[in-house]
């Protein structure tokens, strides 16, 4: 395919995205060109825009939650057909490094993440490796499939593959944006015990209760860890979905002895922990969690298709590509009532 397409490009950190025409990429060996039908906006995109998380080059097309249809198939790809609905896992993998060999392709040493290292899905077309595509079941709309690839699969990985959540365990979720809301929802589906959600925005806490939280804490009014310990005696598992020094520290403080804290949020601030005496004495664990695996994305799409995982209220608004900066403003607003905004580059 030849010609040009519209894409939302970051030229300078701190500046709005430029929606401009660029060349449509041509798939090489093992690659596929996907016509983007939906692409979710994420808090990480705000970090890339603000410069507190790195991108590999400028300019670059942002967007790491794309779903669409196979447009053009590159040489050597034999198991895909044109027109097939697919979701793209945000980061590719080499298949041969120690992480990949251990089944942890999400932290592949040679990974290229859409919208961070290579051009992403805030465009009419996006290039991807065929091995990073997952077919979308007919029952799942594009906008829900798009957010599954990160906003749902990332907390799934953090809860179960890193945090090892067990039925009946008490859980605290710090930050109730797109990642946090789905953390609450998945923890409830998995049979967690008491779930406490923490945020500084009332609308976010209301959504958390709707998603299954038993209690909420407004961190603008009180110390979250203290209140969580009053409610639960300390949680078994805390998920930090913000990426800030203080929220990570509060997540650790909220743990009971032997508890685990998993950092999902992206940010540039340093991590501050309690003194070694209390940290070691309590056998607390602090874990990082990044992205997800193809198997997790496939499993979650199946859950949505079967009606076991309801994402019908997860997408707050769907906007065209030309309104991408308005969508970003919606996510940035301190009193926002948006969990996930989805951009629709192609009708």
- Residue 295 domain flag: yes
Residue-level pLDDT at 336 = 61
- Tell me which DSSP letter residue 13 carries: T
For CA atoms 140, 117, 265, 194, the dihedral sign is positive
Could you give the angle at which helices 178-189 and 202-211 cross, rounded to 10 degrees? 20
Distances (CA, A) of 270 to 140, 154, 247, 267, 288: 39, 22, 11, 9, 13
Q: Closest Cα partner for 178 from 153, 161, 195?
A: 153
Whether 144 and 168 share a structural domain: no
Q: Give the CATH number for residue 214.
A: 3.40.50.720
Residue-level pLDDT at 54 = 80
Bridge partners (DSSP) listed for residue 70: 34
DSSP 163-214: S---TT--EEEE--SHHHHHHHHHHHHTT-S-EEEEES-HHHHHHHHHHT-S
- Residue 158 domain flag: no
**Burial degree of 345 (CB within 10 A; 0-12, 13-18, 19+):** buried
Give the mean model confidence (pLDDT) for residues 234-251: 95
Whether 106 and 233 share a structural domain: no
What does DSSP say about strands 235-240 and 255-263: parallel, antiparallel, or unpaired?
parallel
Whether 280 and 323 share a structural domain: no
Mean pLDDT of the chain: 92
What's the rounded Cα separation, in Å, for the pair 295 and 298?
Answer: 5
- Residue 156 domain flag: no
Among 13-17, 251-255, 321-325, whose mean pLDDT is lowest?
13-17
Give the mean model confidence (pLDDT) for residues 305-312: 94
pLDDT for residue 34 is more than 80: yes
pLDDT in tens, 44-66: 888 788 777 788 899 999 999 99
Distances (CA, A) of 242 to 44, 84, 184, 186, 251: 10, 35, 14, 18, 11
Residue-level pLDDT at 171 = 98
pLDDT band at 335 (very low <50, low <70, confident <90, very high): low
Whether 22 and 135 share a structural domain: yes
- Sort residue 208 into left (φ over 0), alpha (ψ -120 to 50) or beta: alpha
- Residue 155 domain flag: no
Q: Give the CATH number for residue 97.
A: 3.90.180.10
- Output 347 or 332, whichever has higher pLDDT: 332
Predicted TM-score (pTM) of this structure: 0.92
Distances (CA, A) of 89 to 50, 70, 96, 129, 192: 24, 14, 18, 10, 27
Gap between the terminal Cα atoms of the chain: 18
Q: Pick from 249, 271, 288: which residue ends a domain? A: 288
Whether 251 and 224 share a structural domain: yes
Whether 116 and 199 share a structural domain: no
Residue-level pLDDT at 338 = 61
pLDDT for residue 237 is more than 80: yes
Could you list the beta-strand ranges (E) of 295-337: 317-320
- Residue 157 domain flag: no
Three-class HEC string of 49-108: HHCCCCCCCCCEECCCCEEEEEEEECCCCCCCCCCCEEEECCECCCCCCHHHHCCCHHHC
Helices (H) and strands (E) in the chain, counts: 11, 16
Q: Pick from 252, 270, 288: which residue ends a domain? A: 288
What does DSSP say about strands 255-263 and 285-288: parallel, antiparallel, or unpaired?
parallel
Token pair of 162, please? 């890193």
Whether 127 and 171 share a structural domain: no
- Residue 146 domain flag: yes
Whether 54 and 129 share a structural domain: yes
- Residue 191 domain flag: yes
Whether 76 and 110 share a structural domain: yes
Whether 322 and 340 share a structural domain: yes
pLDDT in tens, 112-171: 899 899 999 999 999 999 999 999 999 999 999 999 999 999 999 999 999 999 999 999
- Output 276 or 248, whichever has higher pLDDT: 248
Residue-level pLDDT at 56 = 84
pLDDT band at 216 (very low <50, low <70, confident <90, very high): very high
pLDDT band at 42 (very low <50, low <70, confident <90, very high): confident
Whether 281 and 239 share a structural domain: yes
What's the rounded Cα separation, in Å, for the pair 323 and 320?
Answer: 6
Residue 231 three-state SS: helix
- Residue 159 domain flag: no
Where in the sequence is the domain holding 25, given as residue range(s)? 4-150+291-344
Residue-level pLDDT at 267 = 79
Q: Which helix (H) or strand (E) holds 19?
A: strand 18-23
Distances (CA, A) of 316 to 64, 237, 311: 18, 28, 11
Whether 278 and 317 share a structural domain: no
Q: Pick from 288, 309, 325: which residue ends a domain? A: 288
Q: How many domains, in total, are found in the chain?
A: 2
């Amino acid at each position: 395919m030849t010609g040009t397409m519209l894409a939302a490009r970051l030229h300078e950190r701190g500046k709005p995205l430029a929606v401009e025409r660029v060349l449509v990429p041509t798939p090489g060996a093992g690659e596929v060109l996907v016509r983007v039908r939906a692409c979710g906006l994420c808090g990480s995109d705000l970090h890339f825009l603000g410069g507190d998380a790195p991108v590999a080059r400028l300019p670059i097309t942002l967007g790491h939650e794309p779903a669409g249809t196979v447009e053009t198939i590159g040489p050597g790809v034999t198991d895909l057909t044109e027109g097939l609905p697919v979701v793209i896992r945000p980061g590719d993998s080499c298949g041969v490094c120690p992480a990949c060999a251990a089944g942890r392709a999400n932290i592949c040493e040679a990974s290229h993440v859409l919208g961070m290292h290579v051009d992403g899905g805030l465009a009419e077309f996006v290039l991807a490796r065929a091995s990073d595509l997952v077919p979308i079941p007919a029952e799942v709309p594009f906008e829900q499939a798009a957010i599954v690839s990160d906003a749902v699969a990332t907390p799934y990985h953090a809860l179960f593959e890193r945090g090892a959540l067990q039925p009946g365990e008490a859980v605290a979720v710090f930050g109730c944006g797109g990642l946090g809301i789905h953390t609450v929802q998945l923890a409830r589906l998995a049979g967690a015990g008491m779930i406490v959600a923490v945020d500084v925005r009332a609308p976010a806490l209301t959504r958390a209760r709707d998603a299954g939280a038993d209690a909420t804490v407004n961190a603008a009014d009180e110390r979250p860890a203290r209140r969580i310990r009053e409610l639960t005696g300390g949680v078994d598992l805390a998920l930090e979905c913000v990426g800030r020094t203080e929220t990570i520290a509060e997540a650790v403080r909220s743990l009971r002895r032997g508890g685990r804290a998993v950092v999902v949020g992206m940010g540039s601030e340093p991590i501050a922990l309690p003194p070694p005496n209390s940290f070691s004495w309590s056998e607390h664990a602090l874990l990082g969690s990044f992205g997800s695996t193809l198997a997790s994305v496939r499993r979650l799409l199946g859950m949505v298709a079967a009606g076991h995982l309801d994402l019908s209220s997860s997408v707050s608004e769907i906007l065209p590509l030309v309104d991408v900066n308005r969508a970003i403003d919606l996510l940035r607003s301190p009193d926002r009532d948006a969990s996930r905004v989805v951009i629709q580059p192609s009708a």
